[in-house]
A and B are shown apart, each in its own frame.
Chain A
Amino acid sequence: MNRPIYLDYAATTPVDPRVVGKMMPWLFDNFGNPASRSHAYGWAAEEAVELAREQVAALVGADPRSIVWTSGATESNNLAIKGAMQFHAGRGKHVVTVKTEHKSVLDTVRELERAGCDVTVLDVQDNGLLDLDVFRAALRPDTVIASVMFVNNETGVIQDIAALGAICREKGVLFHVDGAQATGKVPFSLDELPVDLMSLSAHKTYGPKGIGALYVSRKPRVRIDAIIHGGGHERGMRSGTLATHQIVGMGEAYWLARENMGSENERIRSLRDRLMNGLMALDQVFVNGDLEQRVPHNLNLSFNFVEGESLLMGMKDVAVSSGSACTSASLEPSYVLRAMGRSDELAHSSIRFSIGRFTTQQEVDAVIEKVSTAVNKLRELSPLWDMHNEGIDLATVQWASH
C-alpha cells in the first residue's frame, strides 16, 4: 500500500534511523538504571544520559547542568510555569502569556487561575507576532513569570525572544519560552538569550516521543518548585527513573540537528517556496502568519470558499493538518488563526503544510497537483465561490446562524 505523503512534520517527525540505531542497545543490552550507583549497569546508563545531556545542551547553547529531563514539552511547560509560580508565590501571583500559545501553556495558566492566580493572555498582531509595547505594558510589579513560545506550531511564526527577554530582565520577571518547534530550525544560544526557562521536545526534531527537557538557567540562577515528587532525580526538579534509551535518542537527534541545521534549512526553504508558488497560483489563497519572521518548514494557507475538512478528504493521500473546526471535537476553528484576526471563514479554510528532513521535491510537486485538483473541484461545489464570482461581498450577506 502506498502511504500518504507526509507534510505534517510540525505534528511529529519520524525518528531518524541513525537515532533509532543509537537507542537500541539501551533497551536490552544496557538496561541499567542510571541512578544505580553500585554497579556497572548503572554507571554505563548514567554515562549515556550525561553524554546526551551535553548533546542537548550543545544544540541550545547551554550549560549541560541546566538541562532537566522530562517526558516532553507539555510536562516542561507545566513544570516551568507551575513550578515558578509556586516557588515565587511570595513575590506575586500574576502570570502573562499569549493567545497563540500551545494548549499546554494556556490550559496550565487557566488551571493556575482556578487556583487563585491572576492571568493575562495577550493578543497578537495580524501577522502572528507579539507587539513589544503591548508585552511591556502587561508586566506588573507582581508579575512572576511571562511565557511566550519561540516558534508557533500552527503558523511557524518566530517571536522576538531576545527583545521580549530583555524586557523581562528589565522588569525583573522570569521568562519562559516554549522552544518545542524551534530546535533544529532556528539557531540560537541560551548563553546569550535572556531566557530563564525553556521547554524542549525530542519528537519534533527527529527524536522519540515521550522525552523532553526543561532548561533551567544557572546564571542567573532560577529557582522553581518540583511538581512531580519521589526520589529526587534531576536535582529534585523532576523525580522518576530516567528513560535511558529515550534520553540517548533525544541526545543523538539534537546532535544531528546541530550538524545539519544550516544545509537542511536551505533545502527545506527551497521546497517551501516551490510549494507556495505552486499553490498560490490558485485564486484566493492567503498565507496565514508573517512570511519573513517564520521558519521555512511551515506553510499555513487559507483556501477561500473551500472548507478545510472537505479539502482534506479531497487529498486523502496527503497527510496535513487543518484549522477547520470539523477536524477537532470542539467545532471551533483554529484559535491561533482567530487570535491573528483571521475571519472564521478563512480559519475554516486553512491547511497547515509542514515540511521536513525526508520531504522530496517529487512529493511537493505531487501535493501541488492533488491540492489544486481538490480545491478546484470543491469550488465548483461551493455556493460561496459562485457568489464571489458574481461580485457579492459575503461579509454583507445576512447569514442565519445555527
Chain B
Amino acid sequence: MAYSDKVLDHYDNPRNVGGYSNQDEDVGTGMVGAPACGDVMKLQIKVGADGIIEDAKFKTYGCGSAIASSSLVTEWVKGKTLDEALAIKNTEIAEELALPPVKIHCSILAEDAIKAAVADYRTKQTAANTAVEAA
C-alpha cells in the first residue's frame, strides 16, 4: 500500500503528541473509535479565555492514516474558535492527506474527535457556570 508523502511525514514526525489533565477546566477531551475496530483517537483542546483554541494534543492507536489525520487536526484547530474548529470537514482532511477511499473512515474519525472535544469543553463550561450561579 502506498502512502502519500504527507501521511508519511505525520507518521514519522507526529505533531503535538501528548495530553493534558482531564480535570483542567480549560481543556476539552474527545476520545472516539474503539480498539475492536482498530482505531482509537484521543484529541484534547486547550481553550483560552477569549474562546480561541490555544493548543491541542493527541494520542492515537490506529493505522498510519489515523495517526496522520489526528496529527494534522491538532495543527488545524490551533488558533481557531470553537465554531471554526467544528467547521473542519473530513473531506478537507482526506484531501490534504490524499487518503485513499478505504482510509476515509480515518478522516471521519478525526472530525468526530474535534466534535467530541468541543462538546466536552462546552459541557464542562456549562457545569462550571451553573456551579458559579448556584453559589
| Interface residues, chain A, with chain B CB atoms under 8 Å away | 305-307, 309-310, 313-314, 324-327, 329, 331, 333, 343-345, 348, 380-386, 394, 399-402
Contact = CB atoms under 8 A, between A and B. Distances in A.
Chain B: interface size category: 20 to 34
Contacts, number: 86
Contacts of A382: 59-61
A324 B64 CA distance: 12
B59 A386 contact: yes
Nearest to A306: B61
Nearest to B60: A381
A328 B39 CA distance: 15
Contacts of B42: 383
A306 B37 CA distance: 13
Given A310-B63, A313-B3, A381-B59, A400 B38 contact: no
A353 B69 CA distance: 29
Interface of B: 1, 3, 8, 11, 14, 17, 19, 31-42, 59-64, 66-67, 102, 105, 108-109, 112
Contacts of A345: 35-36
B31 to A, nearest CB: 7
A324 B61 contact: no
Given A313-B11, A402-B32, 4 more contacts: A307-B38, A313-B64, A326-B38, A326-B63
A381 B18 CA distance: 8
Contacts of B109: 402
A401 B63 contact: no
- The 5 closest A-B CB pairs, nearest first, are A399-B34, A344-B36, A383-B42, A309-B63, A383-B59
Contacts of B37: 325, 344, 401-402
A402 to B, nearest CB: 6
Contacts of A402: 32-34, 37, 105, 108-109, 112
